[in-house]
Structure 1
Amino acid sequence: MNPILIAVLPLFLGFILDLLIGDPHNWPHPIRLIGNTIDKFEQFFRHFSSKTRGGEFRAGMLMAFCILVLSFFVPAVLLGIAYKIHWIAGVVIETVMCYQILAVKALKTESMNVYKELEKNDLEGARQKVSMIVGRDTENLTEEGIIKAAVETVAENTSDGTVAPMIFMAIGGAPLGFLYKAVNTMDSMIGYKNDKYLYFGRFAAKLDDVLNFIPARLSGMFMIIAALFCGLDFKNAARIYRRDRLNHASPNSAHTEAVCAGALRIQLAGNAYYFGKLYEKKTIGDDTRPVNKEDIILSNRLLYGTAWIALIVCMLGMVVVRWLI
């Protein structure tokens, strides 16, 4: 069997499986297992660490190292055994792993659940649905705030849940994809700048910034191209990207949000409450028109267009590199 085809197939088939199946809530999932492990490890390492700033930082760094080792080597060993048995066994198992790493359909499904509640004029239901996909406080969000939260989540996770994992899988297969998702999951769980996680979660948050630095910028480029093919305002997307791509405390999060805001000709971001505390944040995009629930559909169209472009680029990159080698 052609080794280039064996290398490329799991990513392609995993992507197709993700679009077809998504992430059924009642199915076991390795990313949820990683999340549960982070929760258990946090309790363990906090118990044995000093309560000083340095002690919390070292405990968080050691915990992150253990999570990364497990997240990379467990799938690497499983795949090593599978590929030794037969290349078909290896491709099948790695395809399932790649499928589990990606979150394109799940992101669309969860954001469209918010849309469906807004369609029924059920603001409380929409707040509950959006609370499942955002980290901010949602109990007092207006309809506009709910829509913005959903659109921003789709935009940001176009990189974190789609493009970035593809890039890492293209470089190092499913094991490197799981390592990336472990870092991303740690950041979402302990990467907050509050009293509890300011020092314990700092290493994980900084590592997430480092790993996402290039993928976030590539995601922005891919999304601008996708805006053209999706019939959205790609010129304004490029303009807002150049202007507002750094309008966020994170060096990476605003890149895809800026493109999305420009493509949809709306304004995103701004102040938000987290754990009862108001955080002042810059806005992204121009307030050209009021947001409406249809923007959730448009953001998902942009997500899918970007995902396909990223897949094509990653597969071509894999073919070229292996052909040169």
Structure 2
Amino acid sequence: MAVTLLRFTFYSVLIGFVIDLFVGDPRRFPHPIIAIGKFISLCERAFRKIFPKTPAGETAGGACMVVCVCIVSAGVPAGLSALCFWLSPYAYLALSSLFCWLVLAAHSLRKESMKVYKKFKEGDVEGARFAVSMIVGRDTGTLDEKGIARAAVETVAENTSDGVVAPLLFLFLGGAVGGFLYKAVNTMDSMVGYKENGYLYFGKAAARTDDVFNYIPARLSALFMLLASVVLRYRPRNAWKIWRRDRRKHASPNSAQTESVCAGALGLRLAGDAVYHGVLHEKPYIGDALREIEPFDIVRANRLMYCTAFAALVVFAAIAAPVLFLAI
């Protein structure tokens, strides 16, 4: 029975990847990540009321929120998966495939970032500014055309790890339970893992947990992206050079991993100062400006993202398959 569970989990990851590749997030379906986001907001309000408004109190409240959200986000899919497997392995396969599909975001990342490129092609700079504001956390009101394109490219580069490779790794390791656990941690970081607007202490645990969960996936993503730069002939030597030099040029230990590879592969200078919630954050540049950025770099970044995703899928599946079908 355990062998059947593991093998069907393996199949469900592959099926979920293919569905995401062609369909993306469903529009008329209640997305579980949205539910996780609402639960995070509920927990935040509750624990802010319970714990005192002191640095120690807010830190403790944020830590309790992380534990609570992780338990529920992993426990719900675990319970539903166990019930379906008890009913039928094929019912489990169907549900697990659905869950894996909803955890991955390659198609949606491409779709949303390409909206920026399409607005540029139409000559609608303000439309491009609005489109990029939907996918980045920074303030976009003062960005010029190059800044808008740069923000879109950076988002695709960074989310190649957060939205594709990292959840794919957790799906292979723990099925839907692992995938939703990762997405819960990642969503908490995006919602409360800031140093301003009252989150300096409350969001500390979420930010640190996200750093831990992404430490290995971010570095694997960078290696897969380096391989993708070779396949696509996107300056692989420069990608290697910039990754080696600039992969630590970020406050997060993980965010510059794929961003540095992308910058080197495309011959661009990315990052630099940015405004978040009205506050200027001084950041070092990543990469060298071998040429000026252009809107078509959004297309190039997406090609790099998709090739990276395929490389990760092939490698993870190649490692898992012999264990499941030969060793067991």
TM-score under structure 2 length normalisation: 0.96
Take 1:158 and 1:321, find their aligned partners in 2: how far apart are those partners? 27
The one of 61, 71, 83 aligned to 1:59: 61
Q: Which amino acid aligns with 1:137?
A: D
Q: Which residue of 2 aligns with 1:279?
A: 281
Is the Cα–Cα contact under 8 Å of residues 9 and 96 in structure 2 kept in the other structure? Answer: no
Q: Which residue of 2 aligns with 1:304?
A: 306
The one of 141, 146, 170 aligned to 2:143: 141
Q: Which residue of 2 aligns with 1:152?
A: 154
- Indicate the SS of the match to 2:307: helix
Is the Cα–Cα contact under 8 Å of residues 171 and 318 in structure 1 kept in the other structure? Answer: no
Residues 123-158 of structure 1: CA deviation (Å, up to 9, x unaligned):
211111111111000111111111111000000000
- Indicate the SS of the match to 1:281: coil
Q: Which residue of 1 aligns with 2:293?
A: 291
Q: Which amino acid aligns with 2:327?
A: L
Q: Identify unmatched segments of 5+ residues in structure 1.
A: none
Take 2:323 and 2:250, find their aligned partners in 1: how far apart are those partners? 34
Q: CA deviation at 1:286?
A: 0.3
Q: Which amino acid aligns with 2:240?
A: A
Q: Which residue of 2 aligns with 1:245?
A: 247
Q: Which amino acid aligns with 1:285?
A: G
Q: CA deviation at 1:117?
A: 1.1
Take 1:74 and 1:218, find their aligned partners in 2: how far apart are those partners? 29
What is the correspondence of 1:185-200 to structure 2 with a 5 Å cutoff? 185-200=187-202
Take 1:184 and 1:87, find their aligned partners in 2: how far apart are those partners? 30
Take 1:45 and 1:25, find their aligned partners in 2: how far apart are those partners? 32
Q: CA deviation at 1:107?
A: 0.1
The one of 203, 208, 211 aligned to 1:209: 211
**Bigger shift: 310-319 or 296-305?**
310-319
- Indicate the SS of the match to 1:121: coil
Instruction: Decide whether aligned partners of structure 1 residues 67 and 249 sit closer, same or farther in structure 2, where only a CA change above 3 A counts.
Output: same
Take 1:278 and 1:53, find their aligned partners in 2: how far apart are those partners? 23
Take 1:76 and 1:317, find their aligned partners in 2: how far apart are those partners? 24
Q: CA deviation at 1:195?
A: 4.2
Q: Which residue of 2 aligns with 1:17?
A: 19
**Aligned: 1:318 with 2:317:** no
Q: Which residue of 1 aligns with 2:227?
A: 225
**Bigger shift: 101-110 or 1-10?**
1-10
Structure 1 runs of 4+ aligned residues shifted over 6 Å read none
Q: Identify unmatched segments of 5+ residues in structure 2.
A: none
Residues 156-194 of structure 1: CA deviation (Å, up to 9, x unaligned):
000000000011111111101100000000000000111
What is the correspondence of 1:63-78 to structure 2 with a 5 Å cutoff? 63-78=65-80
Take 2:36 and 2:128, find their aligned partners in 1: how far apart are those partners? 28
Take 2:27 and 2:150, find their aligned partners in 1: how far apart are those partners? 25
Q: How many residues align?
A: 325
Q: Which residue of 2 aligns with 1:104?
A: 106
Take 1:302 and 1:163, find their aligned partners in 2: how far apart are those partners? 13
Q: CA deviation at 1:53?
A: 0.4
- Indicate the SS of the match to 1:154: helix
Residues 232-278 of structure 1: CA deviation (Å, up to 9, x unaligned):
11111111111110011100000000010011011100000011111
| Identity rate, percent | 50
- Indicate the SS of the match to 2:275: strand
Q: Which residue of 1 aligns with 2:173?
A: 171
Take 1:296 and 1:105, find their aligned partners in 2: how far apart are those partners? 14
Take 1:139 and 1:121, find their aligned partners in 2: how far apart are those partners? 18
Take 2:230 and 2:286, find their aligned partners in 1: how far apart are those partners? 20
Q: Which amino acid aligns with 1:172?
A: G
Take 1:319 and 1:124, find their aligned partners in 2: how far apart are those partners? 48
Q: CA deviation at 1:231?
A: 2.6
Q: Which amino acid aligns with 1:290?
A: E
Q: Which amino acid aligns with 1:97?
A: F
- Indicate the SS of the match to 2:139: coil
Q: Which residue of 2 aligns with 1:85?
A: 87
Residues 188-238 of structure 1: CA deviation (Å, up to 9, x unaligned):
000011141010000000000001000000000000001111231111111
Q: CA deviation at 1:26?
A: 3.9
